[in-house]
Structure formats: structure tokens, C-alpha cells
Amino acid sequence: MFRIVRCVIIIFVVFALNIVAENNINKTIAVIPFETIDVSSVDADNLVKKLNEVFSLVPEIDLVSQDTVLAGFRNTSVVKDSVCRNRVCAIAVAKTLGVHYAFIGSVHNVDNTVTLTISAVIPEKNETVWTNEYSTKDDIDNFIKKTSENVVIDARNTFLAEQKTEDVSDGMKTDTAKDSIVSQKTDENKDENSKKTETIPIEENDEALIYESSVSNHGTVQGLTAGLVGRYVVNDAGFTESEWGIDVFCLIPTTSVSQARFKFALPMSTADTMGVRSTCKRNRDFFFSLEHEWGLKNIGTTVGVGYMYLDNFQKIDIVPVHNATQFNTYNFKTSHIVNWVFGIRAGKHNKGFKGRISYPFFWGDEKNLFIEYSAIGMFGGSRIKGGMGIQGAVKKRVGKFSSMTMFSESQSSYFSSRYPADSTNKLREYYFMGPSGRVAFLAGQHSSVTIGLDFMGILVPDILNTKDRWTPNILLGYTFSFGNLTNPETYDGKF
């Protein structure tokens, strides 16, 4: 058992180190205010603002905020009290910010044609690695919207893609490549890099990055998706502790930022019985839920309903007394429980918090009930993420009690029975994980794998008077999607 736990801990640590490594290779970029020629600085700044919004949707980069960039102008020896917009000032500010790449350029208006000339430079080397021009006769608002989307698409599909081990989706710019008229021209005054400059008339882009990223970067799927997550106790569980559980789920995208989830689960079960390790019949309890989830950039919500079926069974306890044997019988009837399901995500899907709870419509101390809950903090990158938190569930059953006593005197026996009509017995089965550790990672374009290691009862080991402590649980999950998976998600609504 200890070898298994040790192996899982080693795997968990390795993936955690991969998460740190991935975060470290993410490139930091900044968009520096553009020079202007016959274009107002307000319009140029609005273009910078829109570029920042679209760049923030790209998972493989870390974006320096516009406020931080403007503050950088006050920390350079070149610029004193104003925002200088030429290349010398822009490079000086970018060096102060310590970014990998800075986007600099100019916006000018000639013969009612607005043109953006933009370059990506490495500030420390003053080296240009990418340059493009975008022009249009549209009004300035359309120019800002279309240009910002096309700039990010081009940057991501060219030099930014070379900095990552992952491939950029081939379909992101299909329509743009078809509809754009590209005329290449050589800039004789370029530095030793001899980069190409493209003048691209801005056309309507049906595959704009902002819409693609809304799907791929906020925890929602792009196609039919199915998966399962299971857990199992490595050590012996306590008398009332659940030994294993499994969730099977299917997701269908409903909009670009939402999805429906169908889940069938045996959330908690012992090896042979429900609730206790005795001669009861095998467990046939199950949970089904229908949920709808919305995923935005910094927040996500889940609302749904669940149905818990608790099968009937009988439990018999044999209690020896002085000169008799007492048989205590508990009859648990079939129960149907309807639950609310609520979930919330605060922060990004890989750098935030996710909580979930399922509890009955009607609450009462004597009622049968099922409660499920989780609260996990998440951290990671675009291909691997980890999480730490708590997770648990409780089933409570209320059964009728009857008793029969068999006395033995002088090698003869007789029976005495009693059946109190109002006597009940409460039976609970539970698991409580704290802390609960998770790691999820992408395995190709269509698969995601999750592993976890939980410890049952660490935070409140005596709450149910069990003898076991530090009961380890191993969790494994696999998800497959017919659409591209660009996020390391479990997609079970918990992590």
C-alpha cells in the first residue's frame, strides 16, 4: 500500500513541476502606445486597448496590462512627463517592463485609408522578429475591431507559435487566408533579420480569434465530449466510509460559452453493500444529474437538478447477551431524492477557484438525503493544471427497527419479539477528502487525463468516531472529445 501511495505522490510532484515549468516558458508581452499620423491619439489608444483584450484570450502568453505599460513610461530615463510614441521610447519602456516581446508601431491615415504598421521586437536585443501592415477604408471603429483580431491571429500563428511546443489550431485562420489579399514587399532599410512586411486589407473575418478563444479558453467544450472519473481507497476504509465511487458524464456544447452536462454516478459505495460491511445485498444506489454550465473569462456558473435513487435493503445485527441472542433488524425502504446542483468558478479556468454543491430540495433531520460538495483552488498553464482543496459526500438513510430475542434455558429455546412502530435507525455512509490534490493534463488534441491523491478525514478525523486515520484515495479520470480540447480540464464540474 505504501509503495502505491509513494508512486502516486512522485507522479503528483512530477506533474506539479511540469506546471511550474510550463508557466515559466509562457512568453510575456506588452503592447506599447502607437505613433500617430493624421489619426487621433485617442483612437490609437483605443486600438491598443482592444489589442490587449484579444491578446488576453491567448493562453500561451502572459500579458502586461495597459496601466502597467503607462506606468513604465515614468520609470525610464528617455521619457519624462509625456507618453513618447517613437521606437526609441517604446524600446526603453519595454526594457523597463522586462517583457519577452513588445508590440510597437504606428497608425496613419493617408487618402482616407487607415493603416497600422506593427512590429514585434525583443527589447533587450532591439531585434524585430515580426512585422505586418493592416489597412482599410472602413470607419475607425470597424478598423479597430477587425485589425485587433487579425493582428493577434497572425502573431499567434507565426512567431508566437514557434515559442511553444503545442501546435496552434490550423483552422483558426482559414477564412482569413482565403479572403485576405496579401502583397509582400521588401523593406530595404530593415536590420540584419531581413523580415518580410505584409500589407493586408482588412476583410470580415468569420473565424475571428475572439470567438474561437471564447470556446477554447474558458472551460467549455467544442464538440461532443464524454469521460469518467473514479476513486478507490488504497487502505482499509472505516466502517461507515465509502470505499469507491465513479462518475460517468457527457457534455454537449449549447453555445460558444456554455454546455450541457449529463452525469450518471455511483458517488459512494462499499465493496459489497450500501452503508455497512455486512451481509446486505449489493448496492444499487445511483445518482443522475442534468446541468447547464456557462464559462466566461473570469467567472463560470453551473445550475442543474439531480436525482438520487436509494435502493431498499435490510440490515441485521446479532447481539449476544447473558443467556440469549438478540437479532436487531433495520428495514430501509426505497427512497427517491431530488437535489439542486450549483457550481461556481471564480478566476480563470486554470488559475482560480471552483466550488460545487448538490443538496436536497427538501431538508429534514429524519429524511433520507444525499449531499455532495467540493471546493478546489486551481493553478497551472495551458496544457497542465493542478488543484488543492476538499471534496466529499454524505448519504443518510432512515430505517424502521425491529428486534427479536432468543433465550436458551435447560437445552430448550424460545423466542420473544418486539416491533416498536415508531423506532427508527439512522445509517450514514460518507467520504470526506481533505486535502484533495488533483493534476489534469492534455494528452493530444482530443483527450484529457486526471490523476489525484486524497486523504480521508485529515481535517476532522473524529467527527464520525471512526478508527481509521489518513485513509488514502487514488483518483483517475479520462475525458475524450470529438472537438479539440485546448484546456486541461476534467469536465466533471468539480475540477
**Contact present, 26 and 61 (Cβ < 8 Å):** yes
Quote the pLDDT of residue 290: 93
Question: Which of the residue ranges 92-96, 204-208, 373-377 has the most confident prediction, judged by mean pLDDT?
Answer: 373-377
Of residues 246 and 329, which shows the higher confidence score? 246
Cα separation of 23 and 156, whole Å? Answer: 17
CATH entry 3.30.379 includes domain 225-481:
no
Tell me the CATH architecture of domain 27-216. Answer: 3-Layer(aba) Sandwich (3.40)
Query: For the chain, how long is the longest CA-to-CA vector?
Result: 119
The H or E element containing residue 198 is: strand 197-201
Q: Give CATH 2.40.160 domain extents, the chain.
A: 225-481
Q: What is the mean pLDDT of residues 158-170?
A: 48
Cα separation of 302 and 297, whole Å? Answer: 15
Residue with cell 440469549: 324
What is the dihedral sign for C-alpha 47, 48, 53, 56? Answer: positive
Quote the pLDDT of residue 425: 61
Quote the pLDDT of residue 181: 30
DSSP letters of 31-52?
EPPPEEESS-HHHHHHHHHHHH
**Contact present, 243 and 271 (Cβ < 8 Å):** yes
Cα separation of 167 and 162, whole Å? Answer: 9
Q: What are phi and psi of 142, to 5 degrees?
A: -65, -35
pLDDT in tens, 51-93: 888 887 776 677 888 888 887 776 666 555 556 778 888 888 8
Q: What is the mean pLDDT of residues 189-193?
A: 37
* Strand duo 225-233 + 471-481: pairing: antiparallel
Residue with cell 432512515: 398
Measured N-to-C along each axis, helices 41-55 and 209-216 cross at an angle, to the nearest 10 degrees, of 30
Decide if pLDDT at 314 tops 50.
Answer: yes
Q: What is the mean pLDDT of residues 434-445?
A: 82
Cα separation of 137 and 133, whole Å? Answer: 14
Residues β-bridged to residue 255: 258
Quote the pLDDT of residue 231: 84
Of residues 53 and 211, which shows the higher confidence score? 53
What is the value of pTM for the model shown?
0.55
**Contact present, 56 and 63 (Cβ < 8 Å):** yes
Q: What are phi and psi of 134, to 5 degrees?
A: -130, 130
Of residues 343 and 407, which shows the higher confidence score? 343
Tell me if residue 357 falls in helix, strand or coil: strand
Q: List alpha helices for 137-208, DSSP H.
A: 140-157, 174-179
pLDDT in tens, 115-149: 888 888 888 888 888 888 888 887 888 888 888 88
Distance separating the N- and C-terminal Cα atoms of the chain: 26
What is the dihedral sign for C-alpha 178, 181, 185, 189? Answer: negative
Amino acid letter, 381:
G
What is the dihedral sign for C-alpha 175, 179, 185, 190? Answer: negative
Strand positions, DSSP E, 284-418:
286-295, 299-310, 313-320, 324-332, 335-348, 351-360, 369-380, 384-409, 412-418
Q: Give CATH 3.40.50.10610 domain extents, the chain.
A: 27-216
Quote the pLDDT of residue 42: 85
